[in-house]
Amino acid sequence: MVEEQLRERGIHDERVLDAMRRVPRHRFVPAEHQRTAYGDRPLPIGWGQTISQPYIVAFMTEALQIAPDDVVLEIGTGSGYQAAVLGELTREVYSIELVPELAERARHTLDALGYRHVRTRTGDGYAGWPEHAPYSKIIVTAAPEAVPPALVEQLAIGGTMILPVGPDGGHQELRILTKTAEGVTTERSLPVRFVPMVKPAG
Ligand code: SAH
């Protein structure tokens, strides 16, 4: 997976490639998909959700240039796979998942593999996780139609956020936001297809 799908397609950061070599992706997918866990495609994880394809995980992780002292927030824990990759690169990771059953299963997997420094909770990612803000890096793994303001607020000055933006099933693109004292700059990157970031009722 690492050599053929990631390095060949342009992922060069050795720390990211090492992290992805260390995280056992098959442990994050349902039993019936474990045989194909290392193919370069997304896989269903239940509740209509998917674990992203390895290339996109690698691309987004590389774009964040994570250092060991970064405090990272992830929106959309899903299976917990992306959170584990982040947990290989830094000591402090916080991840929020809307669907309680997914959050619970991800917690179980992360504990079984020793990722106790990856903290998770069930909740709405649109509100972020203010208690541990500011975050030097934020990664969103479901697509909102616009950048959620609370996440920009919780991003540290000098921090970077990567997220897909666009309508459900329509044209989405990855955006890389950098926050400075003067404001936020945005770089537009790959076209992508993510599940929607759901706005809970009420
Ligand atoms: N990063 C995951 C894949 C995420 S799929 C992995 O590595 O497996 C997107 C996830 O975002 C889904 O689990 C979905 O339930 C969750 N999600 C959707 N809307 C959300 C919201 N408003 N807040 C938090 N999580 C949300």
- Whether 78 lines ligand 1, by a CB cut-off of 6 Å, is yes
The predicted structure's pLDDT at residue 201: 82
- One-letter amino acid for residue 21 of the chain: R
Q: What is the mean pLDDT of residues 26-45?
A: 93
- In the reported structure, the alpha carbon of residue 182 is separated from the centroid of ligand 1 by a whole-number distance in angstroms of 31
Which tens digits make up the pLDDT trace of 115-154?
999 999 999 999 999 999 999 999 999 999 999 999 999 9
Whether this prediction's pTM lies above 0.95 is answered by: yes
The predicted structure's pLDDT at residue 136: 98
Tokens 């950061």 sit on residue: 13
- Domain locations in the chain? 60-192
> How big is the chain by its Cα radius of gyration, in Å?
16
Arch. (CATH architecture) of 60-192: 3-Layer(aba) Sandwich (3.40)
The active-site residue, picked from 52, 79, 95, 136, is 52
Residue bearing the CA closest to ligand 1, atom 18: 197
- Whether 59 lines ligand 1, by a CB cut-off of 6 Å, is no
Structure-derived torsion over alpha carbons of residues 22, 20, 95, 40, reported in degrees to the nearest 10: -130
Phi, psi of 58 (to 5 degrees): -65, -45
DSSP state of 126: G
- In the reported structure, the alpha carbon of residue 14 is separated from the centroid of ligand 1 by a whole-number distance in angstroms of 27
- Whether 124 lines ligand 1, by a CB cut-off of 6 Å, is yes
| Token pair for 119 | 């903290």
The predicted structure's pLDDT at residue 171: 93
Instruction: Quote the CA–CA distance of 124 and 144 in Å, as a whole number.
Output: 12
Instruction: Quote the CA–CA distance of 105 and 131 in Å, as a whole number.
Output: 23
Residue bearing the CA closest to ligand 1, atom 11: 76
Q: Helices marked H in the chain — which ranges?
A: 14-22, 54-64, 81-89, 100-112, 149-154
Q: Helices marked H in 90-144 — which ranges?
A: 100-112
- Whether 96 lines ligand 1, by a CB cut-off of 6 Å, is yes
Model confidence at 7, in pLDDT bands (50, 70, 90)?
A: very high
> Residue 25 in 3-state DSSP?
helix
Would you call 173 exposed, middle or buried from its count of C-beta atoms within 10 A (0-12, 13-18, 19+)? Answer: middle
| Catalytic (active site) residue 189 | no
Question: How many CA atoms does the CB half-sphere of 51 hold within 13 Å?
Answer: 29
